Structure 1
Amino acid sequence: MTPLQNDPITELISRLYLPGWCAALWRLSGNWGIEVPEKTVSLYVVTQGSGWLVFDSPQMSPIRVISGDHVMTASGEGHRFVKQFNNQAEPVAERLSSSFWPTAPASQDDCEVVYAQFELEQLAANPLSIGLPNLVHLNHRRDAELKSCLPLVDLMQQTAQDGEPGWQAMVRKLSELVFIRTLSAQLRMNSSRNDGSAPLRVVKAMTDTVVGPVLNQVLASPESQWTVPQMARMARVSKSAFSDRFRNLLGQPPLQYVTDLRMQKASRLLHESNLEISNIAVLVGYESPSSFSTAFRRWNGQSPAEFRRHRKASESPIAATLNREAMKVG
């Protein structure tokens, strides 16, 4: 791919429609709290201090948010962003109506955050239902993909500090770039973590409106008992339409792709752990060690035991020599 060709994320971003996009810089002092209603996608970039994200849904556990974090509620889940669990929270609309950005130095206990949001109410479908987790949680001090956000955030804060006419519009535009970078980082990290051999192909599939939501679930739990009819129902298309689209995007039929993911996971477990092969079989979705061994041999040309033995021997030639000599003595 040449630099002039659009990559999948560029194609996705060019199609994004973010109705009601707004952004602000907040310095939160005292026992602060912000309440965000459902069907609102929010982005938090914390530059100082910390807080808690507490969700309306009991299925979603609260998370601690610290300095450097980028947190995106990609599914639009209602939530509170609070200093402490029991804090009262003001509606986010009231906080956004204030255009004031404090110019005095922040105290050590303050939380400074870049906040941005768009509304799902006007959309027939969530544009982020494309292979993202419901909650994106990254950190620009830890994740190399987000290092480029630091000068953007610095520019936002300096623009607000200067207070020149139009600074709020600049904050909105710059925050959109940070949002795009966070979205891009999560998609690229997902694809390289799950299929490092072909990240752009996986990213393109993850950003596809039909295959993406299903692929996200498959990548999260390849050990589940997947079937093509089940995947097609999730995608709301026919079985043949889903299979054709999946193959065109990823170069493999759906179940072959699932098998590859399982075998890659099994290879890592065989190499990096001392788990019994029967336990690994269960962890990668097989009901019996024999069915797992058959599938693994078909995929790799070796049984799981042979693969583990050869990998360990190749990494420790001295140990392998000693083992051979011990076997001769025995």
Structure 2
Amino acid sequence: MDALAELLDGPRARGALLLRMVMEPPWSVRIEDRAPLCLMSVTSGEAWIMPEGEAEPVLLRPGDLAVARGPDPYTVADRPGTEPRARIGPGGTCATLLGEPLSQSMELGVRTWGNARDGSAVVLVGTYLLDGEISGRLLDALPPLLVLPPGGRTGPLLTLLDNEIARDEPGQSTMLDRLLDLLLIDALRTWFSRPGAEPPTWYLAMADPVVGRALRLLRDEPAHPWTVAGLAARTGVSRAALARRFTDLVGEPPMAYLTGRRLAVAADLLRETDATVEAVARKVGYGQAFAFSTAFKRVRGVSPQEYRRGRTLPERQ
């Protein structure tokens, strides 16, 4: 398994916010949803993205794919000088800047929203709503905003997303989630392989003959009672050599990585199965449910039971 696949082979889009935004100038939307990541692409017309702070506005033309990293706010508009007319808050809530609800008045159909049914600007938007859906390590490696020009597999994926986003059929939400994941994977692969790119060291770790093997062992056998010494023996190096090399490439010690991996697997099991907390704890290597619950709450901010009930996770700082 390569580095990008390993990174994305865990929590992923679940019930992501996907919509087609149809607008006629003048228009401007302030995004303050604090979502970890949002993908945007213009299918007709154009749109400007204005990041927070001193960053320059970025123009999106048809076929461009923008990836905006949260939680900092930004504005999307027909041009840089247009004052915001609407605000998108946490969970995709929409209101005027004075707080008056706009969701119903601007609804134009299934997953379609805007100020004019035949507006000249059409923007596809896909937003990951929870921090747990995107690795913090990945977010830290990305700039606040990146824009990729048309090309590669992105075009066909965007066409498919455009065709599917306004449909209301069985399994549609899951299909759209997977399309969003595919777009993200293609965007990241393109971004990290562009000329002059400097991928983070953890991105290259899976190709390392020692660390890559250690990562695969931890991923494939998270419930095994691993120690650094045991992992070193399986990879054919000394304990000190493994600890140093692993930390240098991955950015954290082997046992810290294992804890994160176990809790990520546990989060999936809690959301996707009916297994008891005790059973989940055993499956990811915790002998006692209490120890598992304590570790889970320390990292996720909520107990396993609360997470299973679907409570929103605390905002990522």
TM-score normalised to structure 2 length: 0.51
User: Residue in 2 aligned with 1:179?
Assistant: 184
Among candidates 32, 49, 53, match of residue 53 of structure 1: 49
> Which structure has the larger Rg over C-alpha atoms?
1
Q: String of CA shifts for 1:93-151, please: whole Å, max 9, x gaps.
A: 2467745367xxx86x612222011245679983423422222211124xxxxx21222
Cα distance in 2 for residues equivalent to 1:127 and 1:47: 31
Change in Cα spacing, 1:130 to 1:119, as seen in structure 2 (3 Å) is same
Q: 1:120 to 1:61 in 2, by over 3 A?
A: farther
For the pair 1:110 / 2:120, whether they are aligned, the reply is yes
What is the CA–CA distance in structure 1 between the aligned matches of 2:17 and 2:174, rounded to whole Å? 9
Partner of 1:61, secondary structure, is coil
Distance in 1 separating the partners of 2:174 and 2:3:
28
Determine if contact 2:13/2:133 at 8 Å carries over to the other structure: no
Q: CA-atom RMSD, angstroms? A: 4.1
Q: How far off its partner does 1:81 sit? A: 0.6
SS for the counterpart of 1:60 is coil
Percent sequence identity is 17
Amino acid at match of 1:156: L
Q: Specify the alignment match of 1:134 in structure 2.
A: 144
Does 1:13 pair with 2:8?
yes
1:149 aligned to 2:149? no
Equivalent pairs, count: 200
Give the deviation of 1:187 after TM superposition.
Answer: 2.0
Shift of 1:66: 1.6
Q: Could you tell me which residue of structure 2 aligns to residue 65 of structure 1?
A: 60
Residue of 74, 78, 87 corresponding to 1:91: 87
Post-superposition Cα deviations, 1:237-273, rounded to whole Å, max 9, x if no partner, equal xxx99964465579xxxxxxxxxxxxxxxxxxxxxxx
Q: Distance in 2 between matches of 1:64 and 1:241?
A: 46
Could you say which residue in structure 2 is the equivalent of 1:43? 39
**What TM-score do you get using the length of structure 1 for normalisation?**
0.49
Structure 1: 5+ residue runs without aligned partners? 1-5, 142-146, 208-239, 251-330
Counterpart Cα distance in 1 of 2:45 and 2:74: 19
Corresponding residue for 2:204?
204
User: Which residue of 2 is the match for residue 272 of structure 1?
Assistant: none
Once residues 130 and 72 of structure 2 are traced to their aligned partners in structure 1, the CA distance between those partners, rounded to angstroms, is 11
Structure 2 unaligned runs (5+)? 95-102, 208-240, 252-317
Look up the equivalent residue of 1:157 and give its one-letter code. D
- Tell me if structure 1 keeps the 8 A contact 2:201–2:249: no
Name the SS of the counterpart of 2:71 in structure 1: coil
Counterpart residue identity of residue 74, structure 2? H
CA distance in 1, matches of 2:250, 2:138: 19
1:37–1:19 distance in 2 versus 1, CA, 3 Å:
farther
Check the 8 A contact 1:75/1:126 in 2, yes or no: no
Q: CA deviation at 1:168?
A: 5.0
